[in-house]
Amino acid sequence: MKIDTPTVIILTIINVLIMLMILIHTRLTRKTYSGFDVWITGSALWFIGSVLSYILRGFISPFWVVVIGNGLMQALPICFLDGVNRFYAIPGRWWRTPLNLAVLAVSVVLLYYFTLVADNISARGVIISFCYALFFSRAAIEPLMVPHARRHSMQWLLFACFIPMVIVHILRVSYFLAHPELHTFAELVVKDKLLIVVMMMSSFSAILISYSYLSLTSARVEEELTASENLMTAAYDAERESREMQDRFLEMISHEYRTPVAIIQANLDILGLKSEKLDCVLSPELTKMHRAVVRLVEIFEAAKRRDGFDKRSLVPEFETTAVEPYLREVLDGAVEFWGDRFVLRTQKEETCCNQIDRQLFRTALLNLLDNAVKYSRPDSVITLNVESGDHTLAIFFANSTCADIPTDLKTLLDKYQRGGNSTGTSGTGVGLYLVRRIIEQHGGSITLEAAGKNDMLVTVKVPCE
């Protein structure tokens, strides 16, 4: 099919190239602002539709030229409106993009009918022009109904470029209604040459302004990203300075802490030597005091490492450990602090080995035992049941409490949280939080539950080989 004027082809090619420029520009600038991907999609659909409807007309089936080509091109104003809604965070509603897509689907069905069933170019012109007028008018007017979009100068610029498109297509609707005798595209070009040129020029102008809109919006996004980057840099510098001050403070505390501990340790050694010479009965008590001092040093070292928990800077030093001997070693140390109140029960078969940080895991276990002792009756037994299977090691801590089990068990694993039954007992609400973080560092989990009115059950699960 021969087109009688080269103007339509020239303007169409310019139209397509500019839309392609928008597509390439937006993609190369790699914008992540909400709405950009939708605009890119609309540009791509317009590009493909223009090629099908104008460049390939006469070379491929009318189905692809009229139905698919025009359907893709009509998606442009829909995508522009949806992109604007996303850009301004306008809530999605059924009468926005879903309604537009429904109208587009009806348009495609009617184009199919008046192209392949009842060949009527006038009816097709009415359908296409009406949908363009509807979609472009919505894209021009609806965002301005939102206050924060109405204050944006670029939105008014987009309005100014869309309104001529709406007017042109309204005129074309009246033109097609007045000329129902049209049968071919060549007849349309001959009789409607001026309106086609005007339409193409309006489209050309709209694309240029749209390109400016995207460019200016890109500049705004760059400014916001630069400001955010500056804020992040300032926050990082402040955090680093705070961290350095904290490290210096810890070094000072470490020195001040170790000096009195060393003095206590030295005097305990002296008392130990004297008690041996005098055959004194204080030797067992001195041994407990000596172990308590060693434990203080361990706690301080663990606390220095735990300092990085919230920033995830802690890297546990894992080593393969046989579980049962390790737990008995921990319980032997616990007996020195709280007496012989602990019972360890394991499966008959050999207990598995684990990759654990021995010091950190010991800290977690002793914290759990300390809580069990603190909130249980003095004469009660605290039981540790160890089970292994399915590559999981489970340790169950069971004890009878002095009061009813609190109802806020889950929150006790959060930082600075204490139970309703903690009145009269020392603590800051950090122990169980640190236990949870240590267990999580080992890839495991911890749960607290009531096994009865006064029976508490704590379950620790970690992966095992």
pLDDT classification of 128: cutoffs 50, 70, 90: very high
Range with lowest mean pLDDT among 106-115, 152-161, 217-226, 452-461: 217-226
For range 329-337, the mean pLDDT: 82
| Whether the Cβ atoms of residue 37 and residue 23 lie closer than 8 Å to each other | no
- Strands 445-450 and 455-463 come out as antiparallel
Class of residue 355 by CB neighbours under 10 A (exposed 0-12, middle 13-18, buried 19+): middle
339: left (phi over 0), alpha (psi -120 to 50) or beta: left
Collapsed DSSP state (helix, strand, coil) of residue 31: coil
Q: Is the four-CA dihedral 412, 416, 419, 420 of positive or negative sign?
A: negative
Say which amino acid occupies 434: L
- Does residue 15 carry a pLDDT above 90? no
The side-by-side arrangement of strands in the sheet containing 392-400 is 342-345, 382-389, 392-400, 455-463, 445-450
| Whether the Cβ atoms of residue 166 and residue 198 lie closer than 8 Å to each other | no
Angle at 379 between CA 373 and CA 381, to 5 degrees: 60
CB atoms inside a 10 Å sphere around CB 277: 7
Q: Look up tokens 């007992």; give the residue.
A: 425
The more confident residue out of 252 and 264 is 264
Strand partners for 385: 345, 396
CA–CA gap between residue 455 and residue 465 (Å, rounded): 31
Range with lowest mean pLDDT among 276-285, 398-407, 455-464: 276-285
What pLDDT does 23 receive? 62
Q: In angstroms, how far is the first alpha carbon of the chain from the final one? A: 76
Does this model's pTM top 0.75? My answer is: no
For range 158-184, the mean pLDDT: 80
| Torsions phi, psi for 136 (to 5 deg) | -70, -35
CA–CA gap between residue 332 and residue 138 (Å, rounded): 77
